[in-house]
Amino acid sequence: MTGDEGAGDARSQELATRLRAVEERLTRACEAVGRTRSDVQLVVVTKFFPASDISGLLALGVTDVGENRDQEASAKAEELGLMDGADSPRMHFVGQLQTNKASSVAKYAYMVQSVDRPKLVRALDRAVLSQGRMLDVLLQVDLRPGEETEAAPGRGGVAPAQLWGLAEGAQEAEGLRLRGLMSVAPLGEDPVSAFGRLAELRERFIADFPQADLLSAGMSADLEAGIAVGATHVRVGSAILGLRPQAG
**What are the residues binding ligand PLP (CB under 6 A)?**
45, 47, 68, 94-95, 184, 219-221, 235-239, 248
Work out how close the CB of 115 gets to ligand PLP at its nearest, in angstroms, rounded to a whole number. 13
Q: Could you say which DSSP state residue 105 is in?
A: H
Name residue 141's beta-bridge partners: 158, 183
Work out how close the CB of 5 gets to ligand PLP at its nearest, in angstroms, rounded to a whole number. 26
Q: Which is nearer to ligand PLP, 72 or 125 (CB)?
A: 72
The values of phi and psi at residue 227, to 5°, are -65, -35
Encoded amino acid at 198, one letter: L
Asked whether the beta carbons of 109 and 128 are under 8 A apart, the reply is: no
- CA dist., res. 99 & res. 109, Å (int): 15
Q: Residue 103 burial by CB count (10 A; 0-12/13-18/19+): exposed, middle or buried?
A: middle
Q: Which is nearer to ligand PLP, 22 or 130 (CB)?
A: 22
Q: Which is nearer to ligand PLP, 151 or 219 (CB)?
A: 219
Work out how close the CB of 68 gets to ligand PLP at its nearest, in angstroms, rounded to a whole number. 4
Work out how close the CB of 13 gets to ligand PLP at its nearest, in angstroms, rounded to a whole number. 20
- CA dist., res. 3 & res. 169, Å (int): 55
Work out how close the CB of 211 gets to ligand PLP at its nearest, in angstroms, rounded to a whole number. 23
Q: Where are the beta strands (DSSP E) in the chain?
A: 41-45, 64-67, 90-93, 109-115, 135-141, 176-183, 214-217, 233-236
Q: Which is nearer to ligand PLP, 109 or 184 (CB)?
A: 184
Q: Which is nearer to ligand PLP, 132 or 184 (CB)?
A: 184
Work out how close the CB of 141 gets to ligand PLP at its nearest, in angstroms, rounded to a whole number. 12
Report the residue closest to ligand PLP, judged by CB: 237
Q: Which is nearer to ligand PLP, 60 or 239 (CB)?
A: 239
Number of residues that make up the chain: 248
